[in-house]
Amino acid sequence: MAKKRAVKKGTRKTASKKSVTKAPVKGKSGRQIKSKCYKPVFVMALVVIVLGFLIIGGNGNMIEKGSKIKLHYKGTLEDGTVFDSSEGKDPLEFEVGAGAVIAGFDEGVIGMKKGEKKTINIPADKAYGQYDEKRMGEYPKANVPKDMELKVGAKMFLQSPDGGVALATIKEIKDDVVVLDLNHPLAGKNLTFEVEIIEVN
């Protein structure tokens, strides 16, 4: 059997399949790249991705629609006035997306995790809506509970024919009627909440 001839001039000689694998290979740019380096680089990239997942998103449950959470909060108006807070109370507990809280609050906690703190700014449209003058009306004094003291600014609950309940504020007192405002006390106001997530399920 004739001996195999050497490769032509200008190409690299290969003695065996093993040596071909280990020999430098020229890329399109002309640089020499060792093929045996591909595997370690791939493994290192995989390790970085896994560690990044564990550090950024792999620790604890992230809040999403349907999550049942507990949190502490402090609500303030644009002038810094505190209108509500859970300080000294049990944390607020609710199911995200179920409509138990105002829309902006529901949306603001999505993506948070246990132990995380955040400031949520909520415009009036996603809080208690804009103030509506049409929600003002007169109410007969004779229908006001006898034990209720009538004064401007006092709150009273009204029941509708279908069984619903609305909170009204007394704006003016006349001879036979009181002028009631059925807008929410925070209607037309932008709200800010400082929240701390206590539990996520």
- Condensed to tens digits (0 to 9), the pLDDT of residues 27-85 reads 455 555 455 555 555 556 555 554 554 444 445 699 999 999 999 999 999 999 999 99
Half-sphere exposure of 101 (CA within 13 A, CB side): 21
pLDDT of residue 31: 55
Please give the structure tokens belonging to residue 94.
């609710």
pLDDT tops 50 at residue 116: yes
Please give the structure tokens belonging to residue 156.
């009273």
Fold topology of 133-181: Thrombin, subunit H (2.40.10)
pLDDT of residue 7: 42
CA angle (51 as vertex; 49, 52 as ends), nearest 5: 65
pLDDT of residue 46: 57
Percent of the chain with pLDDT over 90: 61
pLDDT tops 80 at residue 8: no
pLDDT tens-digit profile of 146-157?
Answer: 888 899 999 998
Fold topology of 68-128+188-200: Chitinase A; domain 3 (3.10.50)
pLDDT tops 80 at residue 20: no
pLDDT of residue 165: 87
pLDDT of residue 51: 53
Mean pLDDT of 107-134: 97
Q: Please, are residues 197 and 69 in contact by the beta-carbon 8 Å criterion?
A: yes
| 165 or 201, higher pLDDT | 201
Q: Which residue carries 């071909």 as its tokens?
A: 20
